[in-house]
Structure 1
Amino acid sequence: MTAENYVVKYGSLLKEETLEVIDDKILPNTIVLEATNPFPGYYEYYDGFQKDVQPHYIYLVLDRKYDLEEFTRATQKIMSYFEANFHAAIGNITIYNDVYHAIRIRRLTAYDQIKELQSCYREEGIDFKSGATIPHNSKAMIQLDKFFALDIIEDGFFKDHIEPNHGYFTIPQKLNWKQFEQLTKQVKYNMEMIHFDVSLGFIYDHFRAIDMIRVYAEDLNLDLMKKIKAKYLERIK
């Protein structure tokens, strides 16, 4: 990709995943969750495929909602000295109608780094929830507010500039999760056993909210994204 095709946009991503509770290698009396299978729509067809990928996506549960500036400035400072080149996004997790504010962490290289990173956030003024119990293997709705680094492939199609096998395509209207879930079942039923995982999102662009779908698949390419988008557009009313 040429430099002029690389853009950064702010937006949001919504997905459903099963989260496991991490019981050790964390600060005492805090809550840390892990998505051990972060792309279930893809990996459900490949049992055990992710077992060697550790650590997975980590969620640090916060004591309250922090605004974007608080979170960004704290993360920016920590990144200047922390041992791992991690990536962080802020958002919330809904489990059984209970909402938890959280930081999603990617790219840690060892579980021992979780406790160290928690300590760094605490030193920078961001603290963690205590006194709550979350069941193991909880199904959760996860909403992340984040910056997207996007390579423009074609009008309405993007690849993630940082994360491999992540792509995005725009859709003409906002969908709620129930609509999206139903459409996805219909699309997958008509995709001739092509396996992929999807999430729902949007980005801000030129004072507008642009709705889109994030696709994850190994060796993701423009042709596959076009096929998936066409199936969704056939069904979006």
Structure 2
Amino acid sequence: MESEKILKVCGSITKKESLALITSNILENTVVAEADMPYSNYYGRIPDKPQPNSLFLFTEGFYTLEEALRLTQNIDICAKNKVNTASAIFLHQGHHIPAIRIRNFPDYQHLKMLQECYIKLGVKFARKVQLEKEAVVTVSKCFFLEDKGDGIFFDKQEKHEGYINLPKRPELSKFEKLMEKVKNNSDCLFFDGAIGGLIIDGKVQDIMRVYSEHLDLKMLTCIKTEVLKWI
């Protein structure tokens, strides 16, 4: 049997994110928000969750992915819980608002402690942030993927996420219209999509991220076929 091909690469995902401010268990004069409707085109509601979703800790300055990873791996609670760290930039009225994105954080009660650890490592948090309820965010992160060939990948850390190669990167507004066409004119199962890019062998490959609790190779192949018809 052919062994699976595993890729450990970096890249980014861009999407509209619905945000809810967190007001308890955080340091005074700091801003923390949570993605309260992750994969909104899939659920259409807030999914049940035993722990926080994606958390955004807004910072004064921008921290690269390398910086965010280095900082977080030096915090015990993050290392022990295998917290997934990323660098994030929100676009709001032409302005870029930086944040550190945290996933797989164990609970809300230790958020203040997490912030204190970052501060000890030199991080400066934003005191005030102007954001709409929904904002466009680009998250730069590391990916651990299984390459199935033909431009199809499965995420080895997020079991409901997969990726397909795109011939070009559409603008976000055009991508949203593309998703409407695919969902209204195909038999592909219900899913949420986002655009992004992977850096593989020193070159950027445009991708679409697919989320579904019924994700499999047949589904990703179906979506890829339909997307290529309309893109």
- TM-score normalised according to structure 1 size: 0.89
Once the two structures are superposed, what CA deviation does each residue of 1:104-154 show, in whole Å capped at 9, x if it has no partner?
Answer: 11111210121111111111112210034545xx11101011111101122
In structure 1, what is the Cα distance between the partners aligned to 2:188 and 2:146? 27
Deviation, 1:193, is: 7.3
Structure 2 residue corresponding to 1:69, chosen from 57, 66, 71: 66
Task: State whether residues 79 and 86 of structure 1, in contact with CA within 8 Å, keep that contact through their aligned partners in structure 2.
Answer: no
Counterpart in the other structure of 1:39: 39
Paired letter, 2:26: I
Task: State whether residues 95 and 139 of structure 1, in contact with CA within 8 Å, keep that contact through their aligned partners in structure 2.
Answer: no
Structure 1 residues 110 and 189, CA, compared in 2 at 3 Å: closer, same or farther? same
In structure 2, what is the Cα distance between the partners aligned to 1:105 and 1:68? 12
Q: Secondary structure at the match of 1:145?
A: strand
- TM-score normalised according to structure 2 size: 0.92
Q: Which moved more, 1:73-82 or 1:173-182?
A: 73-82
In structure 1, what is the Cα distance between the partners aligned to 2:99 and 2:25? 18
Deviation, 1:2, is: 8.0
In structure 2, what is the Cα distance between the partners aligned to 1:21 and 1:80? 22
Task: State whether residues 12 and 145 of structure 1, in contact with CA within 8 Å, keep that contact through their aligned partners in structure 2.
Answer: yes
Once the two structures are superposed, what CA deviation does each residue of 1:20-54 show, in whole Å capped at 9, x if it has no partner?
Answer: 1111111111000011111101001xx45x13443
In structure 1, what is the Cα distance between the partners aligned to 2:131 and 2:77? 32
* 1:1-237 to 2 correspondences below 5 Å: 5-44=5-44, 47=45, 50-79=47-76, 84-134=81-131, 138-192=133-187, 194-236=189-231
Deviation, 1:84, is: 2.9
In structure 1, what is the Cα distance between the partners aligned to 2:86 and 2:79? 16
Q: Secondary structure at the match of 1:226?
A: helix
Structure 1 residues 43 and 234, CA, compared in 2 at 3 Å: closer, same or farther? same
Paired letter, 1:229: K
Q: Secondary structure at the match of 2:75?
A: helix
Task: State whether residues 21 and 134 of structure 1, in contact with CA within 8 Å, keep that contact through their aligned partners in structure 2.
Answer: no
Q: Secondary structure at the match of 2:207?
A: strand
In structure 1, what is the Cα distance between the partners aligned to 2:106 and 2:77? 17
Deviation, 1:235, is: 0.8
Q: Secondary structure at the match of 1:75?
A: helix
In structure 2, what is the Cα distance between the partners aligned to 1:63 and 1:34? 18
Paired letter, 2:37: N
Q: Secondary structure at the match of 1:112?
A: coil
Structure 1 residues 76 and 211, CA, compared in 2 at 3 Å: closer, same or farther? same
In structure 1, what is the Cα distance between the partners aligned to 2:73 and 2:2? 26
Could you tell me which runs of 5 or more consecutive residues in structure 1 were left unpaired when the two chains were aligned.
none
